[in-house]
Structure 1
Amino acid sequence: MEGQPHGRGVRVRGGRGRGQNRGGQVHRQIPDVVNHGLTMAEAGRSGKVRIEPSLNKNEAEFIDGRRKSVLQSLKKLQIDCSQNEVPNIALLGSGGGQRAMVGLLGSLVQLQKTGLLDSILYLSGVSGSTWCMASLYQEPDWSTKLETVKDKIIQRLGGPGVSWKEAFDKLKKYYSRKDYFSLTDFWAVMVITSYVKEIDEHTLTEQWSQHSKDSKVPFPIYTVIDKKCKQRNNGDPWFEITPHEAGYSLTGAFVDASNFGSKFHKGSKKNQQDEFDMLYLQALCGSALADEVEIKKQLWQKIKGEALLHPISERRPEDPNAPASDEECYQMLMNLVDMNLSVLTGEDPSAHNESIRTSLNVLSGGQSRSGTLRIADVEAHELDLKSYTMDVCNSLKGRIGWPFGEAVPSTLQETETRDFEDAGLLLNSPYFSVLRKERNIDLIISLDFSEGDPFMTVKEAAKTCKELHIPFPEVNLPSEGVKKPKDFYVFKGKNTPTVIHIPLFNMVNYKIEAWRKSYKTFQGPYSAKEITDLMEVAGKNITNNKGKLLEQIRAAVRQKGSRR
């Protein structure tokens, strides 16, 4: 998704190494505190970081089996080829919030109906597309019953969603079970649940266990970026998370998926952290609905809105031993929310500050030590607000049955981590996860659900690949392309993968501006009708171009055969 960062990553430390890019021509230095990625099975058991440009053994074994299934699907499509000529095809889903989630689902349904889905080797996504992937891979062999799975997902998306109590119970679980608690935990519980309408507590490795023994689904790759590498414009920012490994795609530094989140030092695991669940993974991948201020505003507004909908009497049974100050505590928390919102919107928070100080004095019998919020300048203002908010929450611990205080621990300020964020902040499509040399991709089908320039992703991918000496075709577009995009583009080059680019809204579905206005990245969850209409639009981009897709698959078969 487009926007600015909000989230924190995983706690890791130390160690350097070297890796090669797809072309083997540019060495990339592993960031100082890299060390969480995936390992081979043997390395995973010993908790080591694997630094080498090769596929994980389990992924390689699955891909071998999947290629055999792809061969059978190509025969059904009347594409004649040998096993060695089977093209490695990767399907990419861009970011774009719920628009990307629904758009990818509609596209996959039509790929299945046209018989093309079984030819896909890899399915990789960023941001909103990963929300779709997480929903699909919940279901064993989802590609064989996609119509049923689609109906189930749509029913859930149109449903009531996660309750306030469920959300805060989950937040308490995150706080009690995780060594490192961050804003991403809040984002998962308070925002992502409002879109995906569920709390999925399965892990990626648990989810994959129901798929790993067959080859009926594409291999999934979830992608994020390393915030520090992006900001400093050095190192390898592209980070992938698969059912077996997590790590830096171009550098070739990985840890076992079950160790993603654990603490490493100089390449060895120092302590085990439970594997992230799928709700947290979706939050990590989809962490940029807007800029940092907008994200904070959304969180505070969400807290206020839900709290107002659920008064204290609903959240806490009457306790005869409880102090008679619940209403004051509750009101103070609402004042604290309003103060945060006023700071973020540039308003004077003094009135809220006075109200909070008065209430604290009453509750503490005149012993409150809470300071006054300084408002000298915005930057100092916001820094002081963090400390102020923590002080007030700490003062309320034990006084109210709302777990806000304990859900904002001091560990939120820890820095001994790698910070990962929505890949859409750098490139809104997961090209670099599939451009690893060892994945040998022949054909990339890019489904672009981005807001704004519908060619930004492919143009930026081409530019970056040229800088890094990674094989990628030239991207030449007609001048009118941005305003009047077609529904199908093909980019080819010598000794490069072929890239098919399909913009979601185009001249074929003709109401481009109307569609864009109806499906903004930053709007709330879609209605049932909006979901149905968007599914149809995305699906037609596939059905209208079935013949062209088959033509490019045949061309990839011929090209692969000519190289042997």
Structure 2
Amino acid sequence: MSWRLRLLHAKLLAAPTRSHVRGLFTQTNSTVSRNHLSAGLNRPFRPGLLAGIVVAGGSWYFLNPESNCDEGTLYPDSPNPRRAPYTPIQKDTQGESVFTFDGSTTLSTALIALTSWTWPEPFKWIQDRASILVLELSRGPGSLWNEIVDSPPSSQDHPEYEWEAEVRLGDELCMAERAFLRNRKRKMRTAFAELFGVAFHDIDERDLPIVAIAGSGGGFRAMVNTTGALKGAQDTGIFDCISYIAGISGSCWALAMMYSGVTGSPSPSEAQKHMRSRIQTPYLDISNFDIIISPPFNKYLLSGLLHKVTAPGWGNISLTDIYGTLLSTRLLVPDDIKKLDPRCLSLHQFRRFIDDGSYPMPIMTAISRHLRQDLENKEVETKKKERRSYAPTRRLKLRREAEELEAKARWLWFEWSPYEVGCDELGAWIPSWALGRRFEHGRNIERRPELSLTLLSGIFGSAFCASLQHYFLEVRPLLRDLPLPIFNWLDNVLVENEKEFDVIHPVSPTGLPNFVKGLEDQLRYGSPDSITEAETLRFMDAGAELNIPYYPLLRRGVDCIIALDASADSQDLWFTRAEEYAARRGLQTWPKGARWPKVLQPAAESSDTPAQNQVSDSDSRTNQEIASTKESDVVEQADHQKAAEAPMGNAPLATEDTASDHDKGQDTTVPVTKDRDIGSLRKLTNTLNQPDEETKPLSAYVWIGSSTDNGSSRVDNLEEEALASRDGIGIVYMPLIPNEEAQRRYGGGLWHPLDVSTWRFELQCEETDKLLTTAEMNFKDGHQKIARVLKVMWMRKRNARLEKEHQKWKHDFDRLVDSTS
């Protein structure tokens, strides 16, 4: 008999009564339980119900004194949060089923059925694990439920339970983050001096540029790419010059591994070792189920899930919660059981690594779209009417109406840091340890343990919560294998309904308590209507909106952003949206014309179009808008035709100078025709498939913005004199491309890292090593460019400070002379 069956046998003997099990799924009435069970037995069993197994739990947990998650001082530069007298956690354990799945009892019915049916021997393992799950989640004495839900939180594991939280309103950084920046600059002086090759005393903290790394989304591929690139930054000395590391989706998982403590420290080299050993097994492997139902891992992994499921008013289990818990069994469980510590699943405990400035501050992101159901339905109907309308005037009116509704339903960016969780566009922030509490009028109305990192990991990577439009775009390459008439028909359906599909979410995003509830007329101007009335905010993967996390860095006054892009889709889209966000914030120094490098067209193919005369009267403007609407419809149809016939992954045909000309107000668009477009795409495909030294992609591209120069911000000449005149933000864009050094190390053909699909959730050691080496060597190949850009930023800030001090000295001297004369 295996150890798992012996464990099951022991638990069955120790189980007090079966009524405790039924209590999990019912109020107090055993008839309800029998009805649920009979309902599950009398209807056809669906394989999808097996997902219920993954929310199982186990037994007792112990805290080993050798844990690597030291407590440390969490608030060195700010007063401790207000403490409140002890009050029990508010729990909702009297509902129809405390284990409802997004409001339904499917999960509870499935679990009871799994433990009651007679299964064929090859599938007996399902029943074994489901039985352990049900027993441990029963409300009987000694069960995991009893240990987690019915017992008060440990003050050692959850010190935040004694603290009161308030909403902070405003745009400025919190006091704790400002203290971190001061400490980080002190730590970075030596690193900058070594990077620039200057004496330590020549470096003034006030002149140090604020540098951030932005890691893209892209599943495990992005997670490995970010970790490998950070290892390259560590080896070249640039890592010690970084103030922030922001992540989306897979890059958030990399940050979670680094800063949680499961690897021992946030060192990228330690994270690589941990990741290599943990991602060989997919998260749906049976071994993960064994981890979830086995002590001491069960309490470690399932505490967050059980705390959420008993939260009054909003605590239903979602697919995202299950997904995050399963991912955590691979990513957030240390190899050494002695290092298992629940504080490693606390976001605010990341502070023990960054408060003294030893490491950059991590920032993780998600998005939320607040739109009342009636407005959402109205938006869909308006877009349908616009698509079906043939009258230009009516079509223009409907388009304007749809744009107004879209503006009300725009995506809001939320950021998670070890200090705060909040939204810049709302101007509202709460302590990271307070997420998961209900708030009203700016104060929490309950005290609960912090939302577990297992659940946050699901939110950060919940790409499956994207709109139906994003689903179609993801599977579109797979549909190319279909017969051409079928593919064209499906593609036409996508094109005709894309605006309606963009507001439909097959999987609902995860809901968390709305901490801005009751703050009417106190949020930033332009905040969505009625957001202060909603009970919950629903969050999903930010990669659905912008796959590189520029936005949370804009409010922090960064001087340079190093963008690590492991995206498999359009890079141009991310540049364009980043520029839109910068414009929304009023940043005049964002690099203009920052685009994915294009293949240059012959000069004869582009010509300047004379600027149109300005139309003053309203009728003429309306006619011009109608004409523009017609033209945009034609261009839109041509773009769809081009996308349907072009090979996936090819770059657009515009020139590098097109973006800068567009910024100048000139129209250099080449007329699109089908024959010419296909011919150009074929030439481009041949060029990309057989790159030469001039056309093959580089490891790093540089743009530096300017408030005075309206031309393209692309910088090819990295001489200090050429860069010193630019006063804007620097962007160093580093795409995930094949690397020759990685090829030499592992042999074979030139391996393309984008061959690793976004939807791969296991990588063998050789694949991981190749991807890590590719990312690391790509960063090292571009680190000289980064060093030059950072030196220019430093010199620019130093010269500005010295000039300001000189002017102040001159002003004071002139006043002194005037007073003595």
Give the TM-score category using the shorter length: 0.5 to 0.7
Match of 1:329 in 2: none
The 5 A counterparts of 1:251-290 are 251-289=426-464
How far off its partner does 1:417 sit? 0.9
Contact 2:219 2:461 in 1 (8 A): yes
Task: Say if 2:314 is the partner of 1:186.
Answer: no
- For residues 147 and 172 of structure 1, do their structure 2 counterparts lie closer, same or farther at Cα, with a shift above 3 Å needed? closer
Question: Separation in 2 of the partners of 1:422 and 1:267?
Answer: 26
- For residues 200 and 504 of structure 1, do their structure 2 counterparts lie closer, same or farther at Cα, with a shift above 3 Å needed? farther
Residue ranges of structure 2 left out of the alignment (5+ in a row): 1-77, 83-162, 335-339, 377-405, 472-500, 509-533, 601-650, 652-687, 689-695, 707-726, 744-748, 802-821
Deviations 1:258-296 (Å, cap 9, x if unpaired)?
111111122221122321222211111111157578999
Amino acid at match of 2:316: F
Question: Separation in 2 of the partners of 1:181 and 1:125?
Answer: 27
1:463 to 580, 596, 603: 580
Match of 2:367 in 1: 225
How far off its partner does 1:174 sit? 4.3
Match of 2:237 in 1: 115
Question: Separation in 2 of the partners of 1:509 and 1:227?
Answer: 43
Amino acid at match of 1:48: E
Contact 1:140 1:211 in 2 (8 A): no
Task: Say which structure, 1 or 2, has more relative contact order (CA 8 Å, 6+ apart).
Answer: 1
Task: Say if 2:303 is the partner of 1:163.
Answer: no
Contact 2:228 2:268 in 1 (8 A): no
Question: Separation in 1 of the partners of 2:190 and 2:425?
Answer: 32
Deviations 1:70-108 (Å, cap 9, x if unpaired)?
111011223443221100001110100000110011011
The 5 A counterparts of 1:288-437 are 288-289=463-464, 416-436=535-555
RMSD: 3.6
Deviations 1:48-70 (Å, cap 9, x if unpaired)?
21111111111110110101111
Question: Separation in 2 of the partners of 1:451 and 1:104?
Answer: 15
Amino acid at match of 1:417: T
Match of 1:82 in 2: 204
Question: Separation in 2 of the partners of 1:523 and 1:488?
Answer: 26
Match of 1:555 in 2: 792
How far off its partner does 1:431 sit? 0.8
Match of 2:734 in 1: 502
- For residues 143 and 458 of structure 1, do their structure 2 counterparts lie closer, same or farther at Cα, with a shift above 3 Å needed? farther
Amino acid at match of 2:269: E
Match of 1:177 in 2: 307
How far off its partner does 1:132 sit? 0.6
Question: Separation in 2 of the partners of 1:130 and 1:84?
Answer: 30
Match of 1:216 in 2: 358
Say which is worse superposed, 131-140 or 141-150, in terms of deviation.
141-150
Match of 1:60 in 2: 178
Match of 2:28 in 1: none
Q: What secondary structure, in the 3-state scheme, does the structure 2 residue paired with 1:225 have? A: strand
- For residues 138 and 253 of structure 1, do their structure 2 counterparts lie closer, same or farther at Cα, with a shift above 3 Å needed? same
Match of 1:490 in 2: 702
Question: Separation in 2 of the partners of 1:160 and 1:446?
Answer: 28
How far off its partner does 1:253 sit? 0.8
Q: How many residues align?
A: 410
Amino acid at match of 2:701: Y
Question: Separation in 2 of the partners of 1:236 and 1:470?
Answer: 20
Question: Separation in 2 of the partners of 1:200 and 1:465?
Answer: 41
Question: Separation in 1 of the partners of 2:579 and 2:742?
Answer: 27
Match of 1:305 in 2: none
- For residues 92 and 136 of structure 1, do their structure 2 counterparts lie closer, same or farther at Cα, with a shift above 3 Å needed? same
The 5 A counterparts of 1:445-456 are 445-456=562-573
Q: What secondary structure, in the 3-state scheme, does the structure 1 residue paired with 2:353 have? A: coil
Point out the structure with max Rg over C-alpha.
2
Question: Separation in 2 of the partners of 1:152 and 1:498?
Answer: 33
Amino acid at match of 1:446: A
Deviations 1:519-559 (Å, cap 9, x if unpaired)?
11112311111100000111111111121111011011122
How far off its partner does 1:469 sit? 2.0
Match of 1:528 in 2: 765
Contact 1:490 1:498 in 2 (8 A): yes
Deviations 1:289-323 (Å, cap 9, x if unpaired)?
57578999xxxxxxxxxxxxxxxxxxxxxxxxxxx
Question: Separation in 1 of the partners of 2:227 and 2:788?
Answer: 23
Question: Separation in 2 of the partners of 1:507 and 1:531?
Answer: 14
Question: Separation in 1 of the partners of 2:444 and 2:463?
Answer: 30
Say which is worse superposed, 485-494 or 148-157, in terms of deviation.
148-157
- For residues 524 and 513 of structure 1, do their structure 2 counterparts lie closer, same or farther at Cα, with a shift above 3 Å needed? farther
Question: Separation in 1 of the partners of 2:436 and 2:543?
Answer: 22
Contact 2:262 2:333 in 1 (8 A): no
Which of the pair is proportionally richer in helix? 2
Say which is worse superposed, 549-558 or 45-54, in terms of deviation.
45-54
The 5 A counterparts of 1:241-252 are 241-252=416-427
How far off its partner does 1:42 sit? 7.0
How far off its partner does 1:563 sit? 2.7
- For residues 208 and 123 of structure 1, do their structure 2 counterparts lie closer, same or farther at Cα, with a shift above 3 Å needed? same
Match of 1:136 in 2: 258
Contact 1:125 1:430 in 2 (8 A): yes
Q: What secondary structure, in the 3-state scheme, does the structure 2 residue paired with 1:544 have? A: helix
Residue ranges of structure 1 left out of the alignment (5+ in a row): 1-39, 297-378, 387-414
Contact 1:85 1:557 in 2 (8 A): yes
- For residues 141 and 90 of structure 1, do their structure 2 counterparts lie closer, same or farther at Cα, with a shift above 3 Å needed? farther
Contact 1:194 1:525 in 2 (8 A): no
Q: What secondary structure, in the 3-state scheme, does the structure 1 residue paired with 2:571 have? A: coil
